[in-house]
Each structure stands twice: as C-alpha cells, then as structure tokens.
Chain A
Amino acid sequence: MKRLFGIETEYGLSMPDGNPRTQVNDSRRLVAACTVPHALGWDYSNEDPRADIRGFRATHLSQDPVDAAFDEGARPGGADERADRILVNGARFYNDHGHPEYATPECSRLLDLVAHDRAGERIALAAAKAVGATLYKNNSDYSGASYGTHENYLVPREMSYERMAAGLLPLLISRQLFVGAGKVGSEAGRPVEFQLSQRADFMTEVAGVDTLYRRPIFNTRDEPHADAARWIRLHVICGDANRSEWATAMKVGMVSVALDLIEIDEAPVWRFADPVRAFSDLSKDHEFCWKIALGRDSWTTGPDVLESYLAAAGKHLAGKDAETDWVLSEWNDALIDLRTDPTRLADRADWAAKRALLATYAEDVGKWETDAMRAAELEYHDIDPATSLFDVLVDMGRMRRLVEEARIGDCMATAPNTRAKHRGQVVAEQADRIEAIGWRRVVVGGKAVEFEVEGTQ
C-alpha cells in the first residue's frame, strides 16, 4: 500500500511481587534487558504530544487520577524513565507509563507490518524472560486500567482534520466487528458477559488530544515525526491489541483504504447521533444486531457502514495494488460471514476466536463474569507461545496465519525497506557513536542526518 504505517503496542506487565507502584521501574528493568542489538539516546526534540491538528496546543494533558494516586506526587523512574532502546530493525522499545512498549519500524506493506508486529512480541518476550516477567498483548486489567495499541498512518497535510474525522469516524467505530479483540465483561456502563472490543469501555470523547484519560475515538495529536509542512501522522488510539495476524493486517488495511477514499473525496458520509455511544453499543450487542442511531427515528447497522466503505473502495480503488485488492477481498468475505453467521469469523477475528474458546469453558464454569473466565481470557493474550491460549488455537490449526516464523525471525534483526532501513543501518554500524536518534533523524559526531520519508519504499 502506498503509505507509511506502524503499530505501537503497550504490553501488560506482570512481575512476581510486582504492583502498579513498582510497575514503572519493573518495566524499565525489562526494557533494559533487551537482547537485540540497539543504540541509546532517543531524540525527544521533535516530540510535542500537546500539539493538536485542529490548530492549537493543549495547555495540559489529562492524567488518570488512580495513577496519580499511585505516584503520590513523585515521578517514578527518574531521568531515564523511558529507558529507550532503538533497535537494529528500526523499531523503538521503551517504557511508557509502566508498560514495555514496542513501536514497529515504519512499514509500507501490510505483511511487513504484521511480521514486525510479531517480531516485537518475540523481542519483548525475550526481555521478559530475562527478568522473570509475563507480558500480555491486551488493553485492560479488568479493573478499569487501560493501555493502548496505537496505529500510525502518514497522510498529506492537505488532508484536513475535518475531512479525516468525517471520513474515518464511522469506520473506526464499526471496524471492531472484524478486528475487535474481545473482552469478558464490562468496565464501564452497561454490564455484559462478553463484548467485541477491549477499548470501547474507555472511549469517552469523540475527538481530542488526550490519550491517558478522557480518551477519544479520533485522536488529534499532531506529532508528524516528518516535515510538518507536508505531513500529518494520523494517530489512532481506539483500536485493540490483536493476536490474530489477519486482524492486525485488516485493522491497518481498512483504515488505509478509508484514507485513500478520503483523499479522492469518495469516503461514504455517515452522521451518527452519538459516536461514543455507538462505539460502546456495537461492542456490547450480544444479539449481533449492531444498530447505530443516526437521528431521532433513523438508524443503520455496523455491517451496513462497513459495506458502504467496501462498495466505495470496490468502485474507486480496486486494482490499485495487490494489497488493496487483498484487503477488499477479505473485507467482502468477512462481511458475508458476519451477516450470515458471525461465528464463522472464529478462524481469523480475535473476538470470535476468543468467544468460541471461552464459550466452551463458560459451560464448565457456570457463568461468564467470573475470575476463572477472565483468567482464561488473559491467558489468550499471553505472548509466550508455551503458555498462551491463542497459540494453542494456532497449533490446533484453528487460526489463520499470514506470515512464516522465519520471516518473523528475520524482522527481529532487519528493517523494512522504508526510512527505517537507514535508522537500522546506523544502529548496526555506529551504535556507540550515536548522540541522538529518533524517527526523523540521527546525530553522529555533531552532524544531524534526516531520514527521508520518501524514496525508500
């Protein structure tokens, strides 16, 4: 696909005798145990999380009050709080608010991104084993704490906030029917046995710059990590952490397709009466009707919204490139399965696979909302193949795979053919001489060199 994209995963961290008060230091220690060749010296000079693409700068960012109480006014971690590692494959591995976070290198092909996302699991797992930790690729602790899996898409600056928000919000809300990771129970609002999305309980605003609290469906942070006059980095924070390779590919592929439609002014037009409520309602609809209110007496459905994007893409984007055609073909197949029998998605959609797995256990346990059911769900997200229930499904041939193990192994040490290749090369050859390095540039021997966005794909 003709676009740079990447995924940042904040892993859930469990240490023997660990707790939220020790979590920041535990996470730093884990990151420091990274076994992949890397450099130090992350360059923060281009970072400004308060900048808003709507044209202003927020005076402050909201903080979770529970976390603030954990810290009791002190800032945990000290000067090297983030323990940044810049890896030989162009990725960044660091501590983010007590979560080991793996940010993939910038990719321009879906399969590269899937392979690098999975390589991140391997890299994080090796570090976790070194310090006796367990990592979960999920987004919630079942007690009201959520942590993110963010997607990044490079888009031209001329695509304004208004165009992006109007064209993307309906898809960001509806795509959970394919790519939600599923969750036992509810942490906000109406109680349910099971819902499609890990994050729906935590999306309380339509749009905004915050990410730690009062989280928005459409994040307006304006931190392009490229020439700001030419580029916006769309930062999507409402998605789930996926174990399924198909879901990872479709999560990013569907948004890329929508961005392509927005660029040519062909995205479908929907006005939801209450986007935040629609996000939650879709997630919690156990009858699978997936209704979305449009106005006082009118409504549509999640599948209809997904179909509208597919129809527009089929008309305007078919044949653009092989990956776009693959996304549209999978989108079509999944939509048919969703309308016919949603359980058919159990071989590729995390929520459906997990629901089928846990339904077996629910009969045994007696009901859904129990510690035993949540424990089984948590084990689905364990990234250690030796203990993960997701990997049990893979081993049984119940989950589709898109990338070979050998390719994942290669991606632990090799950057994709984007500007990340140059970052990885500098790390491989001059790690000890690097004074500062980031997404956008490296400084060696007092000389700064830019990593160009274009010309490396």
Chain B
Amino acid sequence: METRMERRERDLPQPVRKPGEDEGPAKRDVKKPGGNDELLKRLRKVDPDRAKKYRQRSGE
C-alpha cells in the first residue's frame, strides 16, 4: 500500500504556481488539534431535542 502511494507521488507533476490572478487556492497552516474538553463542553450545550423537532419537506 505504501509503495503504491510513493509511486503516485512521483508520477504527479509539481503544481505550477503562477503569480497574480491565475493563482490557485493557497494551502493554509492549521493549528494542531487540541481543546477536546472545550469541545465537549460546547457539545453538551446543544439542545438534545433539536433534531427530533426538525421536520422538512422534501426538496430537489
């Protein structure tokens, strides 16, 4: 599995970044995950009945 991925990396060309308007989206630095306790506190504040009361018409 790993071998295949290494081969794929070599097969692909390096992305060509052009200056100005033609530039593609840039990668952004993302902070390392953390704060699970903070997240859990936030999740516990969700109204547990919110989805039960949520009924919709079908759309397209």
Contacts and interface: CB of A to CB of B under 8 A. Distances in A.
Interface of A: 10, 12-14, 19-20, 23-24, 64, 66-67, 70, 96-99, 101, 110-111, 114, 136, 141-143, 145-148, 150, 211-213, 237, 249, 307, 310-311, 314, 318-319, 321-323, 325-329, 332, 335-336, 339-340, 346-347, 357, 360-361, 364, 370-372, 374-379, 389, 392, 396-403
Interface in B12-60: 12-13, 15-18, 22-28, 30-31, 33-36, 38-40, 42-44, 46-60
Contacts of B4: 339
Contacts of B11: 311, 314
Contacts of A364: 40, 43-44
10 contacts: A20-B55, A70-B57, A97-B58, A141-B55, A145-B56, A212-B58, A249-B25, A332-B8, A340-B5, A375-B47
B56 to A, nearest CB: 4
A353 B47 CA distance: 21
A376 B43 contact: yes
Given A310-B12, A322-B16, A336-B5, A375 B56 contact: no
A332 B12 contact: yes
A360 B39 contact: yes
B1 A339 contact: yes
Given A66-B58, A372-B48, A377-B51, 12 more contacts: A23-B57, A148-B59, A318-B13, A322-B16, A326-B25, A329-B12, A357-B39, A364-B44, A375-B47, A375-B51, A376-B43, A400-B27
A147 B22 contact: no
A364 B43 CA distance: 10
A145 B57 CA distance: 6
Contacts of B44: 361, 364
Nearest to B40: A360
Contact of B28 (A12, A67, A98, A400): A400
A212 to B, nearest CB: 6
B15 A329 contact: yes
A142 B4 CA distance: 39
Nearest to B27: A400
Given A318-B13, A396-B35, A400-B28, A99 B57 contact: yes
Contacts of A212: 58-60
B22 to A, nearest CB: 5
A90 B39 CA distance: 38
Interface of B: 1-2, 4-5, 8-9, 11-13, 15-18, 22-28, 30-31, 33-36, 38-40, 42-44, 46-60
A392 B28 contact: no
A346 to B, nearest CB: 8
A360 B43 contact: yes
A103 B52 CA distance: 29
Contacts, number: 179
A322 B12 contact: no
B55 to A, nearest CB: 6
Contacts of A237: 60
Nearest to A70: B57
Nearest to A76: B57
B59 to A, nearest CB: 3
Contact of A141 (B5, B16, B38, B54): B54
Contacts of B60: 10, 96-97, 147-148, 150, 211-212, 237
Nearest to B52: A371
Contacts of B31: 396-398
Contact of B22 (A97, A322, A400): A322
A399 B55 CA distance: 29
Contacts of B30: 347, 397-400
Nearest to B30: A347
B9 A332 contact: yes
A105 B53 CA distance: 33
B15 to A, nearest CB: 4
A345 to B, nearest CB: 12
A361 B40 contact: yes
Most chain A CB within a 10 A radius of its CB, from B16, B49, B51: B51
A319 B35 CA distance: 41
Contact of A319 (B1, B16, B48, B56): B16
A378 B34 CA distance: 23
Contact of A13 (B18, B27, B40, B56): B56
